[in-house]
Amino acid sequence: MPRDALAEVSDDTLLVLYANGDRAASRLLTARLTPRIFGYALRLLADRAEAEDVVQEAMLRLWKVAPEWRPGEAQVSTWAYRVVTNLCTDLRRARMRRPAVTLEDAPEVADSARGAVAGMIEADRMAALQTALNQLPDRQRQAVVLRHIEGLTNPEIARIMEIGIEAVESLTARGKRSLTAILAGRQQELSYDDDEEGEAS
């Protein structure tokens, strides 16, 4: 089936089409899912190479389950996020003895049209956030990233993490409180107030 004709097709249907031998379906599904789960994996692992490995493995598993996929039972994206979550948890457990991640290990942030100084400040903020995220317990970090960075709803997160909605709310609330505490010492340099004042003046 031509790729344009598939643009409006759901992820579920694309996976079924892939299982039936449609190559265009796999390409479109890759283009839709990979950036999302890659961003998520990168936030959880703070390591580009490891995030790429995790995403490739998750997608590989998706292709393998395609023939048995039953449309309507689960969302493909939810399934993919769940696999990435589990793979990242395993990976982080495996590397527990390795040195802690430093600011330099934080993912690179794409430079935009803003000025170089503003870009550097923003990059520092992102790096600080990443460092703070890395200090959270796994479940809190997953919940905060899924809710506040990936923009998923609590029921979606509950399905991904296989917990109740109340537990998701609790994890995100505790995660944010911990982040605030971790970043408290750097509030001056991370605050957006100076930017707003600068833009106003």
Q: Which residues bind another protein (CB under 8 A)?
A: 18-21, 23, 26-27, 30-31, 34-35, 38-39, 42-43, 51-52, 55-56, 59-60, 63-64, 66-67, 107, 109-110, 122, 125-126, 128-129, 144, 148-151, 176, 179-180, 183-184, 187, 190-193
Beta carbon of residue 95, minimum distance to another protein (angstroms, whole number): 20
- Angle of the 23-45 helix axis to the 48-65 helix axis, nearest 10: 140
Beta carbon of residue 74, minimum distance to another protein (angstroms, whole number): 19
- Residue number with CB closer to another protein (96 or 198): 198
195, two tokens: 């930017």
Local structure of residue 75 (DSSP, 8 states): -
Beta carbon of residue 134, minimum distance to another protein (angstroms, whole number): 13
- Residue number with CB closer to another protein (14 or 161): 14
- Residue number with CB closer to another protein (96 or 184): 184
Beta carbon of residue 83, minimum distance to another protein (angstroms, whole number): 13
**Cα-atom radius of gyration of the chain, to the nearest Å?**
19
